[in-house]
């Protein structure tokens, strides 16, 4: 018998002393007084006290036993079943081949990666198996299960030798689950070996909780003494539109380990893989900062509207996160579509009129736009539109909302402004559905007296990033007189601007490949002073420009996590991209088939069907790794130990052990039931023994 948490069993044993101490402390101490007349009565009392003493000891033992059983139950006892060393077993090896395993191994294994060390540990476990044993091979990423049936050890070793690490995040829980399921189908005794460096990228100790397994789970920790490396986490285009046709500026964000605090610079090189043009700039970490940004400007061909860029930094112990790909757009090909119905009965101007003035303050300068009546929004009418501003949502019918949703999912920016007139048309529900799950828009408009102002410190948002340095001054004079209430989870809605009561005045959400932005107040004087203040023109134009930058970022797919647009059937390598030399097949769900995906730029081929719903039949796609999944930093030892103790483990030396230990959660249940029975018995006996005792003086 063993325990998963033995210190809890010790605590339960120690708790047995409590009833004894209480008994000794409360024991009555009496001073006898000789009285001849009470001699006969004293003898009767002594006989009764002897019986009571036995009863007290019985109750004391039951109370101590109850505390001991509780301690043993929460310590999670496990049974030990002896298995002969020569008895054949089925071994399921779970090899960490995720992108985290591409990091260099510990300093005790020079020249090896974490993947190499973990594979060697798996092969050692296989070589130590008794004769007649079989092996299943699993990995923590990619296909996960590499053997449909158990194979001979030599075959398993050959399969492990042919494996290479992928660029996908680790899915250790699914791998252990699949391995345990495979062993449950076998009649022979089974054992699981999980080999990994257990770095932060390989194991998320908070999200990836290990399942309880029927078979023994043996941990092979190959170790990692790495304290972290520098990584590229994003490459974002600064601006979009006719102002940037000759050159493009991007911000490349770089992070470093939190323990590094000294000032440091990292050279960042950005290359256009189509033209081989390159530019370099330094990302400078100020003292104590874990993040730095390199601003790189690259000259481009004005005739091209789409570019493929790669950002790189000098290679370190984790090369997988030293590269970042991005597709860059130089111009917006389509004018902004303003959905509104012309009105002549209002003096203050409609929302559409104020927005059109902000889009194009001077004729021919700004962002081109055109009008569309809400009744004309029908299936296919928005195809090819990149930016859509809905100023009269109450005039859209079900078909119109369906078309807006389809356009957004296909890769369009949709901006929504609340209607300025009271209406009985329920536009709130379809609008909330467009924003995303869990979002609600209250039916009633809220009047603010006095008017609401905006918070001086606004949240960080990609929409306002270029005006962030002046945002405090720009939002100061804004007053909100009327608004609608937009509510939703933080996983769905991102605030762009907040009012002083914390309610959003402007929110951002994503849907499919598209982006949705909604104002909580209308840009007309009876609702707010927004349209008459200096912030309005840059805010509207940056909403369109940066919104389309986010659309372009939708061309980036995280390997192993992201899905490609509907209708994509193939990814082909492009000229100048050496990161990918084979075409990749895409399944109907938009998932890359196989484990061959690498970071780089690919050309997405979309099926030519009417149901594709996308305006692009061929487009560039950037394949990237998840930076968090690459982190080679060692997990905190205490947290890792707690994570491993969620299921029973045996040390690495147990490869040649003769015992197989199985976690027995049912034992805890039986112990708790026994505790309840003991407590019940103690209560009943206590009541039975509670007979008034004669008192002596």
Same domain (yes/no): 323, 373: no
Q: What is the 3-state secondary structure (H, E, C) of 244-281?
A: HCCEEEEEEEEECCCCCCCCEEEEEEEEECCCCCEEEE
Same domain (yes/no): 74, 144: no
Read off the CATH number of the domain in which 316 is found: 2.60.40.10
As a whole-number percent, the residues of the chain with pLDDT over 90 amount to 29
Neighbours of 538 (CB within 10 A): 17
248, β-bridge pairs: 298
Same domain (yes/no): 486, 601: no
Q: What is the pLDDT, as a whole number, of residue 506?
A: 94
In which band, very low, low, confident or very high, does the pLDDT at 657 lie, cut at 50, 70 and 90? very low
* DSSP string for 488-545: --TTT-EEEEEBTTS-EEEEEEEETTEEEEEESS-SSTTTBSGGGSTTHHHHHHHHHH
Q: What is the pLDDT, as a whole number, of residue 230?
A: 92
Same domain (yes/no): 547, 596: no
- Boundary residue ending a domain (489, 520, 553): 553
Is a pLDDT exceeding 50 seen at residue 481? yes
d(CA 18, CA 412): 70
Neighbours of 7 (CB within 10 A): 10
d(CA 599, CA 326): 10
In this structure, what are the phi and psi dihedrals at residue 675, rounded to the nearest 5 degrees?
Answer: -60, -45
d(CA 143, CA 269): 34
DSSP state of 473: H
What pTM was estimated for this model as a whole? 0.59
Residue 57: inside a domain, yes or no? yes
Q: What is the pLDDT, as a whole number, of residue 578?
A: 45
Residue 324: inside a domain, yes or no? yes
- Domain encompassing residue 123: 84-227+635-657
Neighbours of 614 (CB within 10 A): 20
Span 164-200, pLDDT tens digits: 999 999 988 889 889 989 998 888 888 899 999 888 8
In which band, very low, low, confident or very high, does the pLDDT at 335 lie, cut at 50, 70 and 90? confident
| Cβ(326)–Cβ(250) below 8 Å | yes
Lowest mean pLDDT among 17-26, 178-187, 491-500, 638-647: 638-647
Average pLDDT, the chain: 80
Residue 696: inside a domain, yes or no? no
- For the chain, how many structural domains are there in total? 5
- List of E strands, 385-492: 387-390, 413-416, 440-441, 446-453, 479-483, 486-487
Question: What is the pLDDT averaged over residues 521-533?
Answer: 92
Among residues 523, 524, 459, which one has the least CA distance to residue 493? Answer: 459
d(CA 217, CA 193): 6
Give the residue, 93 or 341, on which the prediction is more confident.
93
In which band, very low, low, confident or very high, does the pLDDT at 229 lie, cut at 50, 70 and 90? confident
Span 1-47, pLDDT tens digits: 556 566 666 777 777 777 777 767 766 555 666 666 666 666 666 66
Show the CA angle centred on residue 189, arms to residues 186 and 193, nearest 5°.
Answer: 95
Residue 695: inside a domain, yes or no? no
Q: What is the pLDDT, as a whole number, of residue 314?
A: 93
Helix (H, G, I), strand (E, B) or coil at 378: coil
Read off the CATH number of the domain in which 516 is found: 3.40.50.880
| Cβ(429)–Cβ(437) below 8 Å | no
Is a pLDDT exceeding 60 seen at residue 126? yes
Same domain (yes/no): 125, 34: no
In which band, very low, low, confident or very high, does the pLDDT at 655 lie, cut at 50, 70 and 90? very low
Span 94-109, pLDDT tens digits: 999 999 999 988 766 7
Same domain (yes/no): 480, 359: yes
Same domain (yes/no): 173, 302: no
Same domain (yes/no): 261, 292: yes
Is a pLDDT exceeding 50 seen at residue 468? yes
With a CB cutoff of 8 Å and minimum separation 6, the contacts of 154 are: none
Same domain (yes/no): 402, 513: yes
DSSP state of 572: E
| Cβ(256)–Cβ(282) below 8 Å | no
Q: What is the pLDDT, as a whole number, of residue 232?
A: 93
359 exposed, middle or buried (CB, 10 Å; 0-12, 13-18, 19+)? buried
Span 51-80, pLDDT tens digits: 677 777 787 788 888 888 887 777 766 554
Q: What is the pLDDT, as a whole number, of residue 234?
A: 85
Residue 362: inside a domain, yes or no? yes
Would you state the structure tokens that stand for residue 500, as one six-digit string?
């002083």
Is a pLDDT exceeding 60 seen at residue 435? yes
Residue 697: inside a domain, yes or no? no
- List of E strands, 425-499: 440-441, 446-453, 479-483, 486-487, 494-498
Residue with tokens 């919104």: 547
Would you state the structure tokens that stand for residue 462, as one six-digit string?
């990609």
Lowest mean pLDDT among 13-22, 315-324, 611-620: 611-620
Same domain (yes/no): 505, 617: no
- Boundary residue ending a domain (331, 364, 385): 331
Q: What is the pLDDT, as a whole number, of residue 682?
A: 79
With a CB cutoff of 8 Å and minimum separation 6, the contacts of 233 are: 253, 254, 255, 321, 324, 627
Same domain (yes/no): 214, 111: yes
Residue 102: inside a domain, yes or no? yes
In which band, very low, low, confident or very high, does the pLDDT at 530 lie, cut at 50, 70 and 90? very high
CA 293 to mean position of chain CA atoms: 24
- Boundary residue ending a domain (286, 302, 331): 331
Span 232-290, pLDDT tens digits: 988 877 654 444 457 788 889 899 887 787 888 999 999 988 888 899 999 999 988 88
Same domain (yes/no): 244, 260: yes
Q: What is the pLDDT, as a whole number, of residue 276?
A: 86
In which band, very low, low, confident or very high, does the pLDDT at 503 lie, cut at 50, 70 and 90? very high
Give the Å distances, CA to CA, from 274 to 306, 308, 317, 426, 574.
Answer: 10, 7, 29, 49, 8
| Cβ(486)–Cβ(518) below 8 Å | yes
Is a pLDDT exceeding 70 seen at residue 84? no
Lowest mean pLDDT among 81-85, 87-91, 415-419: 81-85
Which H or E run includes 612? Answer: none
CA atoms within 13 A on the CB side of 541: 21
Residue 694: inside a domain, yes or no? no
Q: What is the 3-state secondary structure (H, E, C) of 625-689?
A: CCHHHHCCCECCHHHHHHHHCCCCEECHHHHHCCEEEEECHHHHHHHHHHHHHHHHHHHHHHHHH
635, β-bridge pairs: none
Helix (H, G, I), strand (E, B) or coil at 517: strand
d(CA 479, CA 448): 10
């Amino acid at each position: 018998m063993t325990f998963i948490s033995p210190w809890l069993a010790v605590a339960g044993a120690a708790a047995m002393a409590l009833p004894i101490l209480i008994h000794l402390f409360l024991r009555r101490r009496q001073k006898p007084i000789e009285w001849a007349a009470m001699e006969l009565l004293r003898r009767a009392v002594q006989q009764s006290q002897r019986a009571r003493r036995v009863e007290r000891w019985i109750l004391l033992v039951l109370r101590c036993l109850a505390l001991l059983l509780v301690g043993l139950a929460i310590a999670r006892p496990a049974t030990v079943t002896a298995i002969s060393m020569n008895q054949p077993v089925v071994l399921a090896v779970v090899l960490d081949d995720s992108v985290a395993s591409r990091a260099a191994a510990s300093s005790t294994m020079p020249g090896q990666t974490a993947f190499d060390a973990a594979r060697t540990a798996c092969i050692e476990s296989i070589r130590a198996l008794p004769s007649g044993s079989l092996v299943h091979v699993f990995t923590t990423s990619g296909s996960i299960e590499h053997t449909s049936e158990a194979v001979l050890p030599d075959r398993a070793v050959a399969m492990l030798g042919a494996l290479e690490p992928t660029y996908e995040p680790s899915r250790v829980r699914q791998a252990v689950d699949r391995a345990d399921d495979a062993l449950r189908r076998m009649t022979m005794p089974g054992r699981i070996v999980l080999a990994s460096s257990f770095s932060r990228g390989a194991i998320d100790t908070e999200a990836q909780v290990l399942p309880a397994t029927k078979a023994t789970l043996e941990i092979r920790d190959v170790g990692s003494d790495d304290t972290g490396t520098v990584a590229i986490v994003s490459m974002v285009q600064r601006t979009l539109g006719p102002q940037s046709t000759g050159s493009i500026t991007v911000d490349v964000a770089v992070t470093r380990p939190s323990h590094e605090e000294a000032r440091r610079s990292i050279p960042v090189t950005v290359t256009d893989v189509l033209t081989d043009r390159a530019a370099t700039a330094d990302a400078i970490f100020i003292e104590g900062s874990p993040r730095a940004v390199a601003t790189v400007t690259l000259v481009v061909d004005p005739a091209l509207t789409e570019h493929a860029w790669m950002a790189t930094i000098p290679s370190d112990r984790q090369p997988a996160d030293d590269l970042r790909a991005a597709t860059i757009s130089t111009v917006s090909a389509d004018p902004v579509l303003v959905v509104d119905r012309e009105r002549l009965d209002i003096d203050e101007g409609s929302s559409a009129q104020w927005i059109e003035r902000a889009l194009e303050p001077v004729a021919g300068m700004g962002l081109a736009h055109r009008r569309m009546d809400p009744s004309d929004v029908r299936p296919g009418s928005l195809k090819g539109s990149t930016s859509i501003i809905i100023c009269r949502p109450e005039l859209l019918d079900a078909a119109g909302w369906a078309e807006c949703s389809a356009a957004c999912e296909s890769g369009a920016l949709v901006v929504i402004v609340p209607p300025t007139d009271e209406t009985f048309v329920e536009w709130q529900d379809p609008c909330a559905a467009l924003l995303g799950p869990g979002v609600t828009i209250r039916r009633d408009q809220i009047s603010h007296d006095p008017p609401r102002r905006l918070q001086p410190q606004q949240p960080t948002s990609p929409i306002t990033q270029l005006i962030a340095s002046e945002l405090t001054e720009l939002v100061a004079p804004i007053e909100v007189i009327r608004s609608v209430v937009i509510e939703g989870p933080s996983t769905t809605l991102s605030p762009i601007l907040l009012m002083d009561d914390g309610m959003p005045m402007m929110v951002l959400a994503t849907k499919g490949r598209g982006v949705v932005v909604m104002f909580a107040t209308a840009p007309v004087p009876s609702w707010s002073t927004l349209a008459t203040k200096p912030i309005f023109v840059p805010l509207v134009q940056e909403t369109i420009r940066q919104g389309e930058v986010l659309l372009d970022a939708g061309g980036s797919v995280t390997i192993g996590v992201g899905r490609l647009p509907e209708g994509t059937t193939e990814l082909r390598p492009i000229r100048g991209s050496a990161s990918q030399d084979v075409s990749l097949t895409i399944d109907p769900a938009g998932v890359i088939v196989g484990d061959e995906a690498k970071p780089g730029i690919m050309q997405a081929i979309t099926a030519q069907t009417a149901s594709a719903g996308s305006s692009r039949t061929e487009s560039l796609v950037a394949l990237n790794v998840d930076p968090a999944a690459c982190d080679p930093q060692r997990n905190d030892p205490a947290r890792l130990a707690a994570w491993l103790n969620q299921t029973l483990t045996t040390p690495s030396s147990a490869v040649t052990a003769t015992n197989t230990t199985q976690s027995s959660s049912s034992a805890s249940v039986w112990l708790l039931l026994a505790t309840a029975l003991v407590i019940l018995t103690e209560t009943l006996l206590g009541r039975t023994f509670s007979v008034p005792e004669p008192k002596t003086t």
